[in-house]
Amino acid sequence: MRPENYQAVSHPPSHEYEVFFGPNHPGIEGNYALKVRLHGDEVTAARADGGYLHRGFEKLMEGRLWIQNIALVPRICVPDPVPMEVCYSLAIEALGGLEVPERAQWIRVMQLELSRIAAHLFTFGGNAATTGMYTPMFWGIADRDLILDLFEELSGGRVYHIYNIPGGVRRDLPEGYLKRVSDTLDYIESRLPDYDNLMFTNQVFVRRATGVGIMTQEQALDWGVTGPNLRATGLPFDVRRDDPYLIYDQLEFDVPVEEAGDAWARTLVRRAELKQSLRILRQVVARLPEIDGPIRAPIPNPLAWNLPLGDVYTRVESSKGELAYYVVSNGGDKPWRVHVRGPSAMHAVQVLEHLVTGARIEDVAQIMFSLDACPPEVDR
Amino acid sequence: MEMIQAALGWLPMWLQVLMMIVLKIVVILIPLMLSVAYLTYAERKVIGYIQVRIGPNRVGPIGLLQPIADAVKLIFKEIIVPAGSDKLLFLLAPILAMAPALAAWAVVPFQPGMVLADVNAGLLYILALTSMGVYGIIIAGWASNSKYAFIGAIRSAAQVVSYEIAMGFALVGVLVAAGSLNLGQIVLAQSGSILHWFWLPLLPLMVVYFISGVAETNRAPFDLAEGESEIVAGFHVEYSGTPFAVFFLAEYANMILIATLSAVLFLGGWLSPFQGIPGLAEGALGAPSMLWLFIKVAFFLFLFLWFRATFPRYRYDQVMRLGWKVFIPITIVWLLVVAGMVVGELPPWFA
């Protein structure tokens, strides 16, 4: 701005002032913005200002063939792409009446849980970084990279795998893949005590997170919050257990719950979930070699594939909460309408505004990260 | 030293004295500046390895020229003075932050007799100067005319007020124990053996002093004045180029100063840790030397870096609580204990 164009900001006599958090700010997740109104360093009002990552996925999907959209969906949530692919595939399979072979289902579960671990490691680090502790962030990213290596080996892509396609999965497991998965799980499990020492038993961090951004169970239910954020308020709701998809009903796992509903409870739930994901993956690695058969159900020529008239709602549990696709087909070769229920859209706009109000300015970034908001998923 | 004096012998006496002082200042400041530069390098390397990264390794062998490259880059950058800022104060602030960080070195003893100004009020001088640094930060935050900078400045002011007191009490403990305000005398009062150093009788004061020092230099976990996840860079958010570099230098020079003072006041300064151990004390190992001081300083500096890698930032109210409700009571109580020890002539320290 040229000096002659500069006009001093006039502040109301209330001593309140506005501060921008984002869209390009070290304490904000992705391209997202919060405008907070401060009194001293207490937030009196907040406005979430999204849309910087709006790419119009739902509309784009209407212009593409059913099979082409597979390449589009993982981009909706970058840190946790596999649930997007699986959920979209589940929707098409339900519409087209495809039966997914059992082996493909197990492979999908393996991918889903690996992706959950990767996303949680990412979130831990981000959460710690908002309090000025960058070491868990780098550790999380380094350990997550091992999982991305596994994805890369299987699908050729580290972030966007485009591996789950309607009817099954694209490729069978390479030789020795399960061994490498198992080794990676061992490594991540051996790293957990380090994370505990650095972060989860670090009294400074515990005190920073306790009592910050409290959400009651009623509020969470009213606002449609799901996933770890809901479970941190004491309600053990998990789509994997309460509405099992794929082969989750054959697996043993707990649904970790915390009562407090604050940032610390949410962090603890994620940590416990990481352990449960490791447990699930161990079962999958043990069972997968026994399960033979095709990895893909035969589908018609995908370039001229008309799905029957109808609509379907499928949901999976992503690392952020209940992820759902509502897909309507008018009998054509393209979707007539796709609606994505991104779990972050529930907790990253109004809920975030609400929780941030009354908090201190130091805790704004922490609240956003403890909710695990995923801006690309909000904007879609 | 005599050689230089002889070489300057043809000059008038007042000019000789002046030249000697200037020479001593240069001899202290140039290594200090180099240490600051390589402290940034050490920080990036140490924290890099803690965070499973490599750190700088592109400029020069194993990245050794990185600090030079950084300095050159910052010097050649444009100095942006924001519209609506107070230009004079804006440019004065980095100088105000830097000057005390350098001036305090005048009374720091490196070796017996090796000190720029052997004044008897050395500790008072240090106390006065280390509290000056915060004015640079407050003025920077005020003059920038930016909300982020202003919040940072206010935080810094409140923080320094609460930590200065605990720090002052810790220094009073040293004063009581050593019976002198002269830093050289304080070191000599600790001679005997590693157990005679003040870290043992004044252990709580040492911990409080060092943590207060971390808070005073605005380093993690007390870097609220910068708090990048909320107020981006705090007080120096509007600074660029050389003024920013000066703030940077001041922060690191202050770190080295606090580490040096901790070593001088509590770890026996230049004294050898092998002093008083039969068999080891006689040789070169037992001799007092500047090297021992540098090793101790390096230890404290490593703590600074270690803290930064492993602690989250305290929240503002937690910082206040820690300062007023934990540190000040601890120091007051231990001050009484120290006084009791000195009056009771408790061996081996005060006999």
Pairwise CB contact (< 8 Å): B310 & A135: yes
Residue A10 lies in a domain: no
- CA distances to A83, A86, A280, A288 from A102, in Å: 18, 14, 16, 10
- Say if strands A321-329 and A310-318 run parallel, antiparallel, or are unpaired: antiparallel
Residue type, B88: L
User: Tell me, what's the pLDDT at A175?
Assistant: 87
Give yes or no for residue A301 having a pLDDT over 70: yes
Q: Measured between alpha carbons, how far is A142 from A194 in angstroms, rounded to an integer? A: 13
Count CB neighbours of A367 within 10 A.
26
Residue A93 lies in a domain: yes
In B, which residues are within 8 Å of A133 by CB distance? 310-313
Count CB neighbours of A298 within 10 A.
8
Q: Which residue of B has its CA nearest to A366?
A: B229
Would you list which residues of chain B are within 8 Å, Cβ to Cβ, of chain A? 47, 50-53, 83-84, 147-148, 151, 220-221, 223-224, 227-232, 309-318
Residue A148 lies in a domain: yes
Pairwise CB contact (< 8 Å): A27 & B229: yes
Give the residues across from A338 on adjacent strands: A327
User: Tell me, what's the pLDDT at A2?
Assistant: 64
Peptide bond into A375 cis (omega under 30): no
Q: Measured between alpha carbons, how far is A167 from A165 in angstroms, rounded to an integer? A: 6
B322-325, long-range: CB within 8 Å, 24+ apart, which pairs? B323/B159, B323/B162, B323/B163, B323/B165, B323/B166, B323/B212, B323/B215, B324/B162
Query: In chain B, which ranges are continuous DSSP H helix?
Result: 2-7, 13-50, 66-76, 87-103, 122-143, 147-178, 183-189, 203-216, 228-231, 241-266, 290-310, 316-321, 328-343
Query: A183 pLDDT band (50/70/90 cuts)?
Result: very high
| Both structure tokens of B193 | 């053996």
Weakly modelled stretches of chain B, pLDDT under 50: none
| Both structure tokens of A209 | 């997170």
- Between B84, B232, B312, which is nearest A204 by CB? B312
Answer yes or no: are the C-beta atoms of B164 and B135 closer than 8 Å: no
Look at residue B182 and give its three-state secondary structure: coil
- Between A19, A138, A198, which is nearest B52 by CB? A138
- Between A132, A138, A363, which is nearest B220 by CB? A132
Q: Measured between alpha carbons, how far is A218 from B350 in angstroms, rounded to an integer? A: 65
User: Tell me, what's the pLDDT at B177?
Assistant: 85
The shortest C-alpha distance from B31 to chain A (Å) reads 31
Residue type, A259: E
Residue type, B172: V
- CA distances to A211, B106, B172, B177, B268 from B342, in Å: 46, 29, 13, 7, 18
Q: Which residue of B has its CA nearest to A210?
A: B315
Give yes or no for residue A169 having a pLDDT over 60: yes
User: Tell me, what's the pLDDT at A10?
Assistant: 58
In B, which residues are within 8 Å of A360 by CB distance? 315-317
Best A25, A42, A134 residue to mutate vs chain B (most B CBs within 10 Å): A134
Pairwise CB contact (< 8 Å): A135 & B50: yes
Pairwise CB contact (< 8 Å): B315 & A3: no
Would you list which residues of chain A are within 8 Å, Cβ to Cβ, of chain B? 1, 3, 6, 8, 17, 19, 21, 25-27, 41, 128-135, 137-139, 142, 198, 202, 204-205, 207-208, 360-366
Q: Mean pLDDT lowest for which of A24-38, A88-102, A247-261?
A: A24-38
B50 φ/ψ angles, rounded to the nearest 5 degrees: -65, -35
Residue A3 lies in a domain: no
In B, which residues are within 8 Å of A364 by CB distance? 230
Mean pLDDT of A356-369: 85
Answer yes or no: are the C-beta atoms of B327 and B307 closer than 8 Å: no
Domain CATH for A344: 1.10.645.10
Eight-state DSSP code of residue B199: T
Total residues belonging to chain B: 351
Provide the whole-model pTM: 0.85
CA-closest candidate to residue A124, choices A136, A135, A114: A136
Pairwise CB contact (< 8 Å): B312 & A25: no
| Both structure tokens of A7 | 């006009």
Q: Which residue of A has its CA nearest to B319?
A: A204
In B, which residues are within 8 Å of A198 by CB distance? 310
Eight-state DSSP code of residue A34: E
Look at residue B107 and give its three-state secondary structure: helix
User: Tell me, what's the pLDDT at A8?
Assistant: 61
Pairwise CB contact (< 8 Å): B52 & A139: yes
Residue A58 lies in a domain: yes
| A-to-B residue pairs, Cβ atoms closer than 8 angstroms | 88
Query: What confidence tens digit (pLDDT) does each residue in A205-242 have?
Result: 888 888 888 888 888 888 888 888 889 998 888 888 88
| Both structure tokens of A253 | 């796992």
Pairwise CB contact (< 8 Å): A133 & B312: yes
Q: Measured between alpha carbons, how far is B330 from B204 in angstroms, rounded to an integer? A: 7
- Between B148, B230, B318, which is nearest A365 by CB? B230
- Between A3, A134, A138, which is nearest B83 by CB? A3
Q: Measured between alpha carbons, how far is A33 from A26 in angstroms, rounded to an integer? A: 11
Q: Which residue of A has its CA nearest to B229?
A: A27
Best A37, A135, A267 residue to mutate vs chain B (most B CBs within 10 Å): A135
Answer yes or no: are the C-beta atoms of B120 and B181 closer than 8 Å: yes
Give yes or no for residue A1 having a pLDDT over 70: no
Q: Measured between alpha carbons, how far is A168 from A295 in angstroms, rounded to an integer? A: 6
Pairwise CB contact (< 8 Å): B231 & A361: yes
Pairwise CB contact (< 8 Å): B227 & A207: no
Mean pLDDT of A246-273: 88
For every residue of A239-305, DSSP letters joined together read: HHHHS--TTGGGS-------SS-SHHHHHHHHHHHHHHHHHHHHHHHHHGGG--S-SB-----GGG-
Average pLDDT, chain A: 86
Place of tokens 């070489």: B7
Residue A9 lies in a domain: no
Contacts of A100 (CB under 8 A, 6+ apart): A93, A108, A167, A168, A246, A297
Q: What is the residue range of A344's domain?
A: 17-378
Query: In chain A, which ranges are continuous DSSP H helix?
Result: 57-62, 82-96, 102-129, 135-155, 177-195, 203-209, 217-222, 228-231, 239-242, 263-287, 343-347, 350-356, 361-370, 375-379
Q: Measured between alpha carbons, how far is A273 from B118 in angstroms, rounded to an integer? A: 62
The shortest C-alpha distance from A136 to chain B (Å) reads 8
In B, which residues are within 8 Å of A42 by CB distance? none
Answer yes or no: are the C-beta atoms of A344 and A77 closer than 8 Å: yes
Q: Measured between alpha carbons, how far is B215 from B217 in angstroms, rounded to an integer? A: 5
- Between A3, A8, A362, which is nearest B316 by CB? A362
Residue A209 lies in a domain: yes
Q: Measured between alpha carbons, how far is A127 from A270 in angstroms, rounded to an integer? A: 11
Query: A27 pLDDT band (50/70/90 cuts)?
Result: low
Pairwise CB contact (< 8 Å): B312 & A208: yes
A159 φ/ψ angles, rounded to the nearest 5 degrees: -110, -50
| Both structure tokens of B97 | 């932050």
Answer yes or no: are the C-beta atoms of B205 and B267 closer than 8 Å: no
Q: Measured between alpha carbons, how far is A313 from A105 in angstroms, rounded to an integer? A: 19
Answer yes or no: are the C-beta atoms of B107 and B125 closer than 8 Å: yes
Write the Ramachandran bin of A12: left for phi over 0, alpha for psi from -120 to 50, otherwise beta: beta
Residue A2 lies in a domain: no
The shortest C-alpha distance from B170 to chain A (Å) reads 23
Pairwise CB contact (< 8 Å): B83 & A360: no
How large a percentage of chain A has pLDDT more than 70? Answer: 95
Pairwise CB contact (< 8 Å): A207 & B221: no
Q: Which residue of A has its CA nearest to B81?
A: A3
Number of domains, chain A: 1
| Both structure tokens of A252 | 């043993």
Q: Measured between alpha carbons, how far is B90 from A48 in angstroms, rounded to an integer? A: 33
Best A35, A362, A366 residue to mutate vs chain B (most B CBs within 10 Å): A362
Give yes or no for residue A295 having a pLDDT over 70: yes
Give the residues across from A18 on adjacent strands: A37
Query: What confidence tens digit (pLDDT) does each residue in A133-167 have?
Result: 888 889 988 999 999 999 999 888 888 888 888 88
Write the Ramachandran bin of B20: left for phi over 0, alpha for psi from -120 to 50, otherwise beta: alpha
Hey, what's the torsion of the CAs at A198, A200, A201, A204, to 10 degrees?
A: 80
How large a percentage of chain A has pLDDT more than 90? Answer: 10
